[in-house]
Amino acid sequence: MQKVAILGIGQTPIGEQWDKSLREIGGDAALAAMHDAGVESVDALFVGNMLSPLIDGQNQLGAYFADWVGLWQQEAVKVEAACGSGAAALRAALMAVSAGELESALVLGVEKMTDKAGHDVTATLATAADADYEVEQGVSFVGLNALIMQRYMHEYGWKHADFAPFSINAHANAMSNPFARLHERISTERFERSSMVATPINLLDASPIGDGAAAAVIVPADKVASLPGRPRVVISASASATDTIAVHSRRDPLFLSAAHESAKRCYEMAGLLPQDLDLFELHDAFSIMTALSLEACGFAERGQGVRLGLENEIAPGGRTPICTRGGLKARGHPVGATGMYQVVEIVQQLRGECGDTQVAGAAVGMAQNIGGSGSTVITHILAAE
Amino acid sequence: MQKVAILGIGQTPIGEQWDKSLREIGGDAALAAMHDAGVESVDALFVGNMLSPLIDGQNQLGAYFADWVGLWQQEAVKVEAACGSGAAALRAALMAVSAGELESALVLGVEKMTDKAGHDVTATLATAADADYEVEQGVSFVGLNALIMQRYMHEYGWKHADFAPFSINAHANAMSNPFARLHERISTERFERSSMVATPINLLDASPIGDGAAAAVIVPADKVASLPGRPRVVISASASATDTIAVHSRRDPLFLSAAHESAKRCYEMAGLLPQDLDLFELHDAFSIMTALSLEACGFAERGQGVRLGLENEIAPGGRTPICTRGGLKARGHPVGATGMYQVVEIVQQLRGECGDTQVAGAAVGMAQNIGGSGSTVITHILAAE
């Protein structure tokens, strides 16, 4: 397998972009990434997206965006793994470049979600769960996460306020990220009195959806030199694993086995241990997912993930910085785009472009993108050279 | 790039499978392919599907099927390129195995379409076209193909009956295919008096949708030996190309430039010319597409594709056998599964398992899967060794 580098990145602000179409949002990020990479074309386009058939009435985003951004006749395809679609598209592109089949690829995560009313979006998000055995019973996606959180609190004795540091850290970090959806500091008091969504998940446990796109251009690493002030960023590891699609089928619903498995494969591939990472962009769709991800990936013992927040280890200056640009919680969660936002943000950290939330000397970062309630997990380790 | 072989194949009958769920249909083909390959597990699953979010309310078919067929924790993802999804999934799997990242992969094309009424299915199929600039104007997918066919007849002076041999050949070949949806010979007279769908496309110009799944297990070629009576089938070439998503954006709507481009790349890769192929499983979603595919891939001059039917060159004993198991027209077109049916059928030909429609001495075959009105085209050449 050939080593692959990230040559350029691009992203759009996340929000309710009613003045921009799906095409324009994705196109903006794609063209920004090509501009940042200094290329006018690429051999292929891989699009990560979950909801465009349901919300925008548009399938076939590969050809759709290749057409729009001027990649005439180039190979293009869409990859879907629910909220893990962004990183799944990156992994597909990585395989093709690694195989020597392509000299370059553009990876675009994109989602336009706010054209539908809230309850319709909730229904489309439920397509990540098991239609026959979960959704048919009336459970929503947040409902499934609420059941998991309830069980976690019961099992390990944590109270709701113990999750507050995760959201507070995410909101604080988003303050200096111009692309973030939310720019608003929060406190434990506010976290505790926020509106209930599905007990025990309240509004400040949950990440906001949004319209947005993030993209990267990847090439064989030997095509890229390290420049002064701009290191070469390589993908040192990539892995994807699955768990049962329905939460009730799991031996232990409090263990993200696919997160564990894909992170383990990445650690082996990169020859690293969890403590070697300078930052971890995890998939904090709900605060419970932050705790479970930290545990599954070796940063905390089972049931002790929340402790990392309570002991203030997760801030940019802490031992395990997470959500350094706001995470899903405050940067926002345009579902199929999220995996690429995580990757773009790690590149920004490795380049030292993160201002107030820059992790000092960041050289290695891990991005973990989750589809469904932990059913598909794609993990990447990026390193500056 | 490592050479890759097809170790096993599986397929289900195509029809209105109301007694089987999406899960069961896909599972049947996947397990049949693993059984045929003689393996109990694989490293990863790649699913090609277009409509399950819209028709079955189910996204994330990677994890969904990995769970169902017992690939616990293995990597799994869905690939979508409208009706080209099946071959797009094969190509993604091929890249990962070629890169040396996986030792084996299962590729599954699957679609369950008949749970919705006809007009709803028509609406979902239109998501392959441009939602903003085509569908918004009220055109359906068959409508777009009708405009292309009308223009072709006008431009080159062919009449509707000249397309009859394509459908007659497909129906005749399906007679001996137990998996085909239609088992019914047709005549030119019947072709001509069939109900109009969208002028000039009538019912016998159009392929029937259906529920169905087809699958294959691929592995590095050096892991497979040629057995007596069962040759090693390798993928000698693979390419994917795109055209504008909207038909009206094309310089020439009568030329399938992405079909031309992806076939050309395959010929170069395999070191072959069109005449070296023993059979060509093309994407005859509508009879006009048969003519245009033959022209784009070098089997006929521009505007002369229909001549191959009229001169009887397309039958299993002819110079360019097409649709040897019934094609989309008579085997049926479960959209996201079709690309894998084509590949499975070529493997059957190369193994000499096709009975009445066996192409004598078949050693090299090409499969071409089209997404949208020619906007994504994925081509593979398979060879027996």
Angstrom distances, CA of residue A324 to CA of A84, A349, B6: 19, 9, 45
Angstrom distances, CA of residue B210 to CA of B110, B190, B331: 10, 22, 10
Mean residue pLDDT of chain B comes to 97
* B16 — pLDDT class (breaks 50, 70, 90): very high
**Separation CA A166–CA B230 (nearest Å):** 59
- What confidence score (pLDDT) does residue A204 get? 98
**Separation CA B171–CA B174 (nearest Å):** 5
Question: What is the β-pairing status of strands B212-220 and B4-11?
Answer: antiparallel
Average pLDDT over residues A258-262: 98
Cβ of A268 under 8 Å from any chain B Cβ? no
Q: B84: distance to nearest CA of chain A, Å?
A: 9
In chain B, residues with a C-beta closer than 8 Å to the C-beta of A336 are none
Residue of A49, A75, A137, A248 best to disrupt the B interface, most CBs of B under 10 A: A75
Rg of chain A (C-alpha set): 19
Sign of CA dihedral A131, A132, A133, A138: positive
What are the two backbone dihedrals, phi and then psi, of residue A158, each rounded to the nearest 5 degrees? -85, 155
Q: B58: distance to nearest CA of chain A, Å?
A: 5
- Give the burial string for A122-146 (b: 16+ CB within 10 Å, else e): eebbbbbbbbbebbeeebbbbbbbb
- Calculate helix-pair angle for B22-37, B61-68, nearest 10 degrees: 60
Cβ of B372 under 8 Å from any chain A Cβ? yes
- Give the burial string for A30-59 (b: 16+ CB within 10 Å, else e): bbbbbebbeeeebbbbbbbbbbbbbbbbbb
* B303 — pLDDT class (breaks 50, 70, 90): very high
* A43 — pLDDT class (breaks 50, 70, 90): very high
Average pLDDT over residues A370-379: 97
The string of pLDDT tens digits covering residues B236-270 is 999 999 999 999 999 999 999 999 999 999 999 99
Cis preceding-peptide flag for B200 (omega within 30 of 0): yes
* A356 — pLDDT class (breaks 50, 70, 90): very high
Average pLDDT over residues B18-41: 97
Residue of A47, A61, A80, A255 best to disrupt the B interface, most CBs of B under 10 A: A80
In chain B, residues with a C-beta closer than 8 Å to the C-beta of A79 are 77-80, 92
- What confidence score (pLDDT) does residue A321 get? 98
* B106 — pLDDT class (breaks 50, 70, 90): very high
- What confidence score (pLDDT) does residue A116 get? 84
- What confidence score (pLDDT) does residue A79 get? 98
The pair of structure tokens assigned to A374 is 């932990």
- Strand, coil or helix: A243: coil
Given an 8 Å threshold on Cβ–Cβ distance, is B78 in contact with A79?
Answer: yes
- What confidence score (pLDDT) does residue B178 get? 98
In this complex, the residue of B60, B82, B92 whose CB is nearest that of residue A375 is B60
Given an 8 Å threshold on Cβ–Cβ distance, is B81 in contact with A79?
Answer: no
Q: What is the largest CA-CA distance in chain A?
A: 57
Residue of B55, B75, B122 best to disrupt the A interface, most CBs of A under 10 A: B75
* Other CB atoms within 10 Å distance of the CB of residue B187: 11
In chain A, residues with a C-beta closer than 8 Å to the C-beta of B67 are 242-246, 249, 375
The string of pLDDT tens digits covering residues A58-88 is 999 999 999 999 999 999 999 999 999 999 9
pLDDT higher than threshold 90 for residue A381: yes
* A118 — pLDDT class (breaks 50, 70, 90): confident
DSSP A211: B
The pair of structure tokens assigned to B268 is 């170069």
List residues bridging with B218 in a β-sheet: B6, B105
Average pLDDT over residues B154-180: 98
The pair of structure tokens assigned to B346 is 């070529």
Residue of A245, A247, A260 best to disrupt the B interface, most CBs of B under 10 A: A245
Given an 8 Å threshold on Cβ–Cβ distance, is A53 in contact with B53?
Answer: yes
Sign of CA dihedral B155, B156, B159, B160: negative
**Separation CA B128–CA B133 (nearest Å):** 12
Q: B250: distance to nearest CA of chain A, Å?
A: 11
For A232: left if phi > 0, alpha if psi spans -120 to 50, otherwise beta; the answer is beta
* B360 — pLDDT class (breaks 50, 70, 90): very high
Average pLDDT over residues B330-343: 98
- Strand, coil or helix: A5: strand
CA-closest candidate to residue B197, choices B134, B155, B149: B149
pLDDT higher than threshold 80 for residue A33: yes
Question: What is the β-pairing status of strands A4-11 and A233-242?
Answer: antiparallel
Residue of B41, B80, B379 best to disrupt the A interface, most CBs of A under 10 A: B80
The string of pLDDT tens digits covering residues B313-322 is 999 999 999 9
DSSP annotation string for A70-131: T-TT-EEEEEEBTBTHHHHHHHHHHHHHHTTS-S-EEEEEEE--TTS-HHHHHHHHGGGS-T
CA-closest candidate to residue A374, choices A184, A111, A147: A147
What residue of B is the nearest CA neighbor of A21?
A: B132
Given an 8 Å threshold on Cβ–Cβ distance, is B77 in contact with A376?
Answer: yes
* A51 — pLDDT class (breaks 50, 70, 90): very high
- Calculate helix-pair angle for B85-98, B338-351, nearest 10 degrees: 70
Do residues A300 and A152 make contact, with C-beta atoms less than 8 angstroms apart? no
Given an 8 Å threshold on Cβ–Cβ distance, is B135 in contact with A372?
Answer: no
CA-closest candidate to residue A252, choices A376, A129, A148: A148
| Interface confidence (ipTM) of the complex | 0.98
pLDDT higher than threshold 90 for residue A2: no
Which 121-150 residues of chain B touch chain A by CB within 8 A?
Answer: 124, 126-128, 130-132, 135
Cβ of B109 under 8 Å from any chain A Cβ? no
Cβ of A27 under 8 Å from any chain B Cβ? no
From the list A83, A266, A323, A354, the catalytic residue is A83
- What confidence score (pLDDT) does residue B117 get? 78
Q: Is B333 a catalytic residue?
A: yes
- What confidence score (pLDDT) does residue B118 get? 74
pLDDT higher than threshold 80 for residue B136: yes
Question: What is the β-pairing status of strands B376-384 and B364-371?
Answer: antiparallel
In chain A, residues with a C-beta closer than 8 Å to the C-beta of B141 are none
Given an 8 Å threshold on Cβ–Cβ distance, is A75 in contact with B240?
Answer: yes
Do residues A78 and B53 make contact, with C-beta atoms less than 8 angstroms apart? no
Angstrom distances, CA of residue A198 to CA of A140, A204, A206: 9, 12, 10
- What confidence score (pLDDT) does residue B248 get? 96
List residues bridging with B237 in a β-sheet: B381
Count chain A–chain B contacts defined by CB atoms under 8 A: 210
In chain B, residues with a C-beta closer than 8 Å to the C-beta of A23 are 132
pLDDT higher than threshold 80 for residue A119: no
* B119 — pLDDT class (breaks 50, 70, 90): confident
The pair of structure tokens assigned to A240 is 């994807």
In this complex, the residue of B66, B135, B240 whose CB is nearest that of residue A77 is B240
Do residues A270 and A233 make contact, with C-beta atoms less than 8 angstroms apart? no
Cβ of A86 under 8 Å from any chain B Cβ? no
- What confidence score (pLDDT) does residue A289 get? 98
Given an 8 Å threshold on Cβ–Cβ distance, is A81 in contact with B73?
Answer: no
Average pLDDT over residues A280-285: 98
- What confidence score (pLDDT) does residue B230 get? 84
Q: Is A83 a catalytic residue?
A: yes
Cβ of B111 under 8 Å from any chain A Cβ? no
The pair of structure tokens assigned to B331 is 């085997």
**Separation CA A270–CA A219 (nearest Å):** 19
The pair of structure tokens assigned to B10 is 């599986």
DSSP annotation string for B164-222: HHHHHHHHHHHTT-TT-S------HHHHHTSPEEETTEETTTBPP--BEEEEEEEEEGG
Which 42-61 residues of chain B touch chain A by CB within 8 A?
Answer: 44, 50-51, 53-54, 56-61
pLDDT higher than threshold 80 for residue B159: yes
- What confidence score (pLDDT) does residue A249 get? 97
Mean residue pLDDT of chain A comes to 97
pLDDT higher than threshold 80 for residue A37: yes
DSSP B70: T
- What confidence score (pLDDT) does residue A263 get? 98
- What confidence score (pLDDT) does residue A227 get? 74
In chain B, residues with a C-beta closer than 8 Å to the C-beta of A130 are 58, 64
CA-closest candidate to residue A47, choices A366, A356, A337, A347: A337
In chain A, residues with a C-beta closer than 8 Å to the C-beta of B100 are 1, 98-99
* B46 — pLDDT class (breaks 50, 70, 90): very high
A256: which residues sit within 8 A by CB, 6+ positions away?
A243, A292, A293, A295, A296, A370, A374, A377
B19: which residues sit within 8 A by CB, 6+ positions away?
none
Angstrom distances, CA of residue A155 to CA of A109, A150, A158, A288, A373: 36, 9, 8, 13, 19
Question: What percent of chain A clears pLDDT 70, i.e. is strictly above it?
Answer: 100
- What confidence score (pLDDT) does residue B257 get? 98
Helix H segments across B9-98? Answer: 22-37, 61-68, 85-98
